[in-house]
Amino acid sequence: MSHSLNPPAQITTGRPPELLPLPGGISLHRRTTAYAPALNAAVTANLDHLRPWMAWAAQAPALAETLELSRVGESAWEAGSDFMYLVVPDGEPATVIGAFGLHGRIGPGALEIGYWVDHGHTRRGIATAAAEAVTATALALPGIQRVEIHCDETNGPSAAVPRRLGYRLDRIIDSPVTAPSETGRKMIWLKHRAVA
């Protein structure tokens, strides 16, 4: 869940699919205001799980904040700068069990993937399957040449996702600490569009 109220400028002229089916009876749905109550409930239920690594999880968001961020996300999607998805069980369409985003905050020709999965649904391959789907989706967009995943070097579960998907660890950089478990050392994982 991105908490930026000022999305970056257009990164691509294309738009990804609004629904990405995944294995195991779940799908990635475009984040809209209709999902705000379910997203708010999911974030609130996962604060202890998210707080160590996500600066925005320091406190429970009010529903009005989640609604506003969802509106901003809808506008960013239309503008071609950010594309946010929610992980939704196919049999429970009013439930959110995670969030994935393609964020245009790392410069032209690239999107950064951000993600989290509900604490009760970890270690089931959901993050890997969803990251694989959004990676392929991002690299199919016009003008996108690479996708990046950034995570603290001690966040083993997050780093396992790009490793499993064949991303290359490009570098480890010094980065400001913004969440309690961060070390200030950020891993930058890259995957490039295949050369035709």
Summarize pLDDT for 92-136 with one digit per residue, the tens. Answer: 999 999 999 999 999 999 999 999 999 999 999 999 999 999 999
pTM: 0.93
Give the mean pLDDT of 44-61.
93
Backbone angles phi, psi at 133, to 5 degrees: -65, -45
Residue 157: CB atoms within 10 Å = 12
Give the mean pLDDT of 185-191.
98
What b-and-e string marks burial along 12-35, b requiring 16 or more CB atoms within 10 Å of the CB? beeebeeebebeeebbbbbbbeeb
Domains (range + CATH), the chain: 19-145 (3.40.630.30)
pLDDT of residue 192: 97
What b-and-e string marks burial along 54-81, b requiring 16 or more CB atoms within 10 Å of the CB? bebbeeebeeeebbebbebbeebbeebb
Each residue's pLDDT tens digit, 83-95: 999 999 999 999 9
CA distance 165 to 11: 23
* pLDDT of 8 higher than 60: yes
